[in-house]
Chains A and B, each alone.
Chain A
Amino acid sequence: MPQRIDVAKTWKLYIGGKFVRSESGQSFPVEHRRHGTTVHLCRASRKDLRDSVEAATSARSGWASASGYLRGQILYRMAEMLECRRTEMGEALGAGSNQTPKQRLEEVDASIDRLVGFAGWSDKIEQILGGQNPVPGPYYNITVPEPTGVVGIVPPDKPALLAAVSMLAAPLCAGNTTILLAPEQHPLPTTLLGEIIATSDVPAGVVNILTGTRDDLLGHMADHRAVNAISAVNLAEETLTDLRKRAAESIKRIHHERVTAPAWKKHEDRCSPWKVEPFLEMKTLWHPSAC
């Protein structure tokens, strides 16, 4: 008998700023080396997805109208919190992975730096991507980017943390609210990320995190009218085609890329404004100029 019995954490979904168990009442096992044991994660259902969309929709106007300065500070705070839990995150990355401990910490560090990078974009993107348009005639004509709205995020299995963080921070810094599907094979780091986000002054509903199977959730995400865009990488051809077909009904924006695992490390590329741009809508204002 051990002298003291561990108090194991119950891993939950993160919806509307709260940690909740799945409506499905189902879970799935994940090997976690920390305790040399198996932990159980929620298998999110369609209802959980709908709750997340509702939370993300309610949070939309507040997050979009928060100043870039404020959003930047909140993203930076996420980096600070992740730095504090660097070791714990490294361990979570070890679940079901063959990375060395050093490699895992490198991925955590790169993820922290990625958050810092995107934190800086939130009050600059308008200047880079917006502008004044020289129309002939007595008009002021300006174009300003605005967030698309609710963005569903489907990150790849590897790199389990860095890809999810990069794909989350891009729409987030520009004022979108998000629903992040944890990578199916390696869901622990993303699930832990929820606990970091919950302590970073991110308003409730701005980030929602679901664990479970893609098959359970992706189709419903494509169908849901209040999800305005979906960001995904490396989907199988037929999955992507199906996603696009279902998204057609609500004229949803589908942003899909093919990205190799090493490519996520290229900060200049992955943190470029063109990774934020797919989640922006350009609004153009005309006003006459006259006395």
Chain B
Amino acid sequence: MPDRIPDSTTKVPVNIGTTSAWEYAPAPERTPVEIEERYGLYIDGEFRSPRSRRWFETMNPATGKPLARVASANDKDVDDAVSAARKALPSWSRLGGQERAKYLFRIARRIQERARELSVLETMDGGKPIKESRDIDIPLAARHFFYHAGWADKLQWAFAGAVPKPIGVCGQIIPWNFPLLMAAWKIAPALACGNTCVLKPAETTPLTALRLAEIFEEVDLPPGVVNIVTGAGRTGQHLAAHPGFDKLAFTGSTEVGRKIAEAAAVGDRRLTLELGGKSPHIIFADAALDQAIEGIVHGIWFNQGHVCCAGSRLFVEESIQEEVIRRLEHRMRTLRVGDPLDKNTDVGAINNPEQLAKIASYVETGQSEGATLHEVNNQKLPSGGHWFRPCFLTGVQPSHVIARDEIFGPVLAVMTFRTPEEALKRANNTPYGLAAGVWTDKGARIFEMARRLEAGVIWCNTYNQFDAASPFGGIKESGFGREGGRHGLRAYVQL
């Protein structure tokens, strides 16, 4: 790990009164985590070497150094995983909800018991700050298993008048921004509803999903009920095109989602997609501004902006534009960018070099199109690893690339509006429709905005809240299907 670089913010003239980030002593999370040299595929209840005989390295994005070698599954490996899931299906779906529930409760408990180890591993493999993996990712993953465990024997009450049945064998492909949490989002409802799964974690963050496989062994989950195949995009394509699945669930970019949907277009196979976003975040002049600023910060700089529902388009009512920008700049100065394992770190490492290059090129494009960059230049970034300073751009026009494309990084485009009508029009002017945020003190306005904003999740006077009981998912080109809550179960049953 790189040495923590002390913030040097105070040495730089600050144009707004107070000092910003204080100098803190390093506070590294020291819980040791054992990482094996290599990890095989988890198929039919055992770890095995890939038939492909190929392995790839997973890196620590904060150091750029490899952590472990991981199996790269080819089409034959995917075949094996699908066969194992198919073989396990009849006994798993007939096991009965009450017994299935107990397995899921056990998994939830084991995640809680191994929480710190999983948090550290998540941070090492993915680059996110330890305080986020410790306080959000891992507890929420446990919560998802616990919540869905309770549904397993109550499915007959979940769907008014209909009799739910399992769909069958589910292929599930997840991204690198919330690795264990996404695995939980996918696996927990699928198992609760009596399905079996083949899960493919992202190439850059496979380690916590493989730890989850160890937990499945610990709790004696029957072999084949969940199979985990690691690999890159090609493995994903094998999964998407495999005829052995009854259902395919994908979380990732809209661009890849299109390819997955095309590959998965085989007859009556079910599909759910949780894709990209360019979520609008609207601040009215009457909003509680201190809280709104925190909402903006959490909305775009949480998890380095690697969040599909990040509030990446900020719309500020014109009369408070200067005030908001002044406060946002001030707040941005207090963000600590650096060693993700340091408990004081706010913004960790960018997950992979390709993503880093993409983010940098978007910021360049933004400036060349005429926007003004605001960033904190006084913090030295660690050497080694992949880093990007949190920033925002003003003077952004709706036609600018940075106002239209999903950047998936800590980059905020700031725009203004004069009337609620204009805010709505500009907010909805996107093919995406994942999330939206709105801040105002007026109750009636909140509801009208929430009604007319085109998005699957609307955060009113808050942002980036998640829970297992709350359905999450998009409309328009942000995908279809929900994850979480009673509505999330729908994606894993046939009625």
Contact = CB atoms under 8 A, between A and B. Distances in A.
A143 B257 contact: no
Nearest to A247: B261
B462 A282 contact: no
A228 B475 CA distance: 10
B265 A133 contact: no
Which of A139, A248, A277 gathers the greatest number of chain B CB atoms within 10 Å?
Answer: A248
Contact of B267 (A241, A249, A281): A241
A286 B458 contact: yes
B265 A256 contact: no
B470 A272 contact: no
B479 interface: yes
A241 B460 CA distance: 40
A67 interface: no
A36 interface: no
Contact of A287 (B254, B262, B460): B460
A228 B476 CA distance: 7
Contact of A141 (B259, B456, B467, B480): B467
B477 interface: yes
Contacts of A259: none
B486 interface: yes
A137 B459 CA distance: 14
Contacts of A249: 258
A103 to B, nearest CB: 29
Nearest to B257: A251
A102 interface: no
B254 A251 contact: yes
Nearest to A140: B460
A283 interface: yes
B267 to A, nearest CB: 6
Interface residues of A, number: 42
A100 interface: no
Contacts of B431: 225
Contacts of A243: 265
A274 interface: yes
B462 A287 contact: yes
Given A241-B266, A248-B261, A251-B261, A283 B456 contact: yes
B469 A284 contact: no
A241 B261 contact: no
Interface string A68-95: 0000000000000000000000000000
Contacts of B257: 251
A245 B240 CA distance: 13
Nearest to A277: B490
Interface string A224-260: 0100100000000100111111011111010010100
Contact of B265 (A141, A244, A268, A283): A244
Contact of B458 (A134, A139, A268, A284): A284
A284 B268 contact: no
Interface stretch (B158-166, B198-206, B362-370): B158-166
A273 B160 contact: yes
B160 A143 contact: no
Given A241-B265, A274-B159, A285 B467 contact: no
Contacts of B161: 268, 272-273
A244 B260 CA distance: 11
A204 B456 CA distance: 28
A130 B23 CA distance: 49
B100 interface: no
A283 B458 contact: yes
Contacts of B143: 136
Interface string B441-468: 0000010001000011111111001010
Nearest to A143: B471
B262 A135 contact: no
A240 B257 CA distance: 19
Contacts of B471: 133, 143, 282, 284
A273 B159 CA distance: 9
B495 A133 contact: no
Given A240-B268, A251-B480, A286-B465, A141 B273 contact: no
Which of A139, A141, A242, A244 gathers the greatest number of chain B CB atoms within 10 Å?
Answer: A244
B273 A251 contact: yes
A277 to B, nearest CB: 8
Given A141-B469, A241-B266, A251 B477 contact: yes
Interface of B: 143, 159-162, 254, 257-259, 261-262, 264-268, 273, 275, 431, 446, 450, 455-462, 465, 467, 469-473, 475-480, 482, 485-487, 490, 495
Interface of A: 128-129, 131, 133-137, 139, 141, 143, 148, 225, 228, 237, 240-245, 247-251, 253, 256, 258, 268, 272-274, 277, 281-288
26 contacts: A131-B486, A135-B465, A136-B467, A139-B462, A143-B470, A143-B487, A245-B262, A245-B265, A247-B261, A248-B261, A248-B265, A251-B258, A251-B479, A258-B268, A273-B161, A274-B160, A274-B162, A281-B456, A281-B480, A283-B450, A283-B455, A283-B456, A285-B450, A285-B460, A286-B460, A286-B462
